[in-house]
A and B are shown apart, each in its own frame.
Chain A
Amino acid sequence: MTRLVRRQGWVAGLLVLFVVLLVITRLIQPGYGSGDFGSLVRAVLPYAFAVAAQTIVVIAGGIDLSVGAMMALTSVTAASMMDGASEEYALFVVPFVLAMGLVLGAVNGMLIVVTRVPDIVVTLATLFVLQGAALLVLGAPGGAVAEWLRATIVGTVSIPGLPELSAWIPKALVLLVVCLCIIWIPLKRSKLGLSIYAIGSSELAAFRSGVPVARTRIIAYALSGLFAAMGGLALTMSTGIGAPIPGPYLLASVAAVVLGGVALGGGKGGLLGPIVAVFVLRLVRTDLTLLAIDPNVTAIIEGAIMVAVVMFGAFITMRSRQS
């Protein structure tokens, strides 16, 4: 019970931090309004999916270094398939790319299970492979995206009678919440979700209690691949093109996972914390930009914050292991 309170307390604290940062943003830039919030959410979208992908694997006791490369590959695949194609063709592209993420994620998991090489090495190798594949699909940034896909993340929802409120609910946020909930809530309530937490908490104990460890691990990586594919699609949707070079999503995802209260050892935490954490991290970046700090300096500060967060997380994990 106390653990539950502590965990929810952590998420609540993050939410408070987010609101405080929003207020600070308002103070720095009095004109910061719903439109700016919309663009914040659009910027967060790929990060949020990367974080979701990382979270599920970390809960299962692993780590996925190939998240960024997977997003790059799915993004260029989507962009190059939609390039010059009709609007309806995108209806086929989206499920195809999602399935591709699912399969590639499952391949990650299978390689870990079959070769018994540690996850960090396997996903490092697949990071190289996926990066190379992305370069093969599209040598330079390019491609295109269907207009209706772009429209799904631009603008706000319209709730009749509540124009004030609906202005603050960007479509991108709705898309994010729907995509995450559709997978996460049924998972969390199912036996499979419990198994994922179980193998992360103690693989041996899970095995002895009859949890199919290998299968659960493969499914966890497959879901991670699915989330990464969503991230890749979100990337293409928000930029309109595909870029074969992975962005800084790997470090950002690990930092947000740690900041979101998911133990790097596995078995603890939820999805909400990391998602709020990624909003916090992005908002810090927005604030730095609004303060007219050189974007390169912003990148340094952001990197330093992420490294500090990861160091803090590792320190906590070490302390809890010792006690």
Chain B
Amino acid sequence: MSTTAIQPVPFGRRLKRFMADRPLIPLIILLVILVLVLQILRPGIVNERWLANTVKFAIPLAILAGCQTMTMLTGGIDLSVGTVATMSAFIMATQVVNHDPAVAILIALVPAVLIGLVNGIGVGVFRVHPLIMTLGTSLIGTGCLQVYQRTVIASGAKIPPFLAWLGTGLTYGVPNALLLFVPIAVLIVFTLNRTGFGRLLYAVGDNEGAARLSGVRYWQVITALYVISSVLAGITGLLYIGLIKAPSLSLAEPLVLPSVAAAVIGGTSIFGGRGGYTGTIIGALILTVLTTLLTILQMPEGARRILFGLIVLFVTAAYLRIIEDR
């Protein structure tokens, strides 16, 4: 705080402005505080293994939160990521019994592309609210998965060793999952900040009418966006099953609400046009540490959901206040 020059501005205002200008710093402070609280509650818990574990569990959440970040930038949301991730994981695990892993992975990503396409067309062409649209496709997807499960019930499922290696393995104490995550994160950040497509996403979210008038083909942008989001969710599913190692029909469902919360905490506005991926990554780390903390405090699942809901509401409301102040 000492870097800000002495000004005749009340401290509260100054703090608000500071937070609005550099949203990352308060987030990192919050993360450090949470880790400290954890260390105080359970002295010695924070060590190298804990760190690797936290990163491992934060990565799938961070990728899914990346889907939310990109869709939220356009003023949307993608609630089908959980179903898509579950589908691709389950299909991969059952197809790998009969096929080469590479083929199985390709087959597994087909439904992801399809669901993304339907989402994109529904939102971009028919202008259904993204929330309703993605909720609908996730219901249909779950139904399809249940039907599919019947057809493969006899063949069983297995997890290819390299996915397990990627999901759980450590190399010199560093999670292998970072091999997948770092390129994805760099790609998302690069796309959002340095490419035309990224700029279109911000433009559409900031002022759709203006973007349209400047020649942005809205439906094409949105369709591409939801397909990308779905494919990312599918990849997350593949990674997540390597981590959890038990295919089920509700594998990634518990990650949906936290992924929304992580993007919101990370400073991405749910109304579109503002935010970025770096904040989201820290948001995902914060939520993972928070989950550990709540588990240590023996907080039941219900209380955790209540907390996530309140976080989303509180952060959004606070965010609106900060914007209005400027």
Residues of A whose CB lies within 8 Å of any CB of B are 63, 65, 111, 115-118, 120-122, 124-129, 131-137, 139, 244, 248, 250-251, 254, 264, 294, 296-297, 299-300, 303-304, 306-307, 310-312, 314-315, 317-318
Contacts and interface: CB of A to CB of B under 8 A. Distances in A.
A307 B312 contact: no
Given A118-B271, A296-B150, A128 B136 contact: no
B309 interface: yes
Interface bin, chain B: 35 or more
B309 A121 contact: no
B104 to A, nearest CB: 23
Given A128-B257, A251-B132, A303 B140 contact: yes
Contact of A136 (B132, B144, B300, B320): B300
Contacts, number: 124
Given A135-B300, A136-B302, 10 more contacts: A117-B317, A124-B260, A125-B312, A125-B313, A131-B302, A133-B306, A244-B302, A296-B147, A300-B147, A303-B139
B26 interface: no
Interface stretch (B37-45, B52-60, B123-131, B178-186): B123-131
A297 B303 CA distance: 35
A251 B305 contact: no
Interface string B302-326: 1111111110110011001000000
B147 A129 contact: no
B301 A250 contact: no
Interface in B108-133: 122, 126-129, 131-133
CB-based closest 8 A-B pairs: A128-B309, A132-B305, A135-B302, A132-B306, A136-B302, A125-B313, A129-B309, A300-B143
Given A299-B143, A300-B147, A306 B306 contact: no
B207 interface: no
Contact of A297 (B127, B132, B147, B300): B147
B193 to A, nearest CB: 26
Contacts of A297: 143, 147
26 contacts: A111-B313, A117-B313, A120-B129, A122-B313, A126-B313, A128-B308, A129-B310, A131-B302, A131-B305, A132-B307, A135-B300, A135-B301, A135-B305, A136-B300, A136-B303, A139-B300, A296-B146, A297-B143, A297-B147, A300-B147, A303-B143, A306-B136, A307-B140, A310-B136, A314-B128, A318-B126
Contacts of A120: 129, 131
Contacts of B305: 128-129, 131-132, 135
A65 B270 CA distance: 16
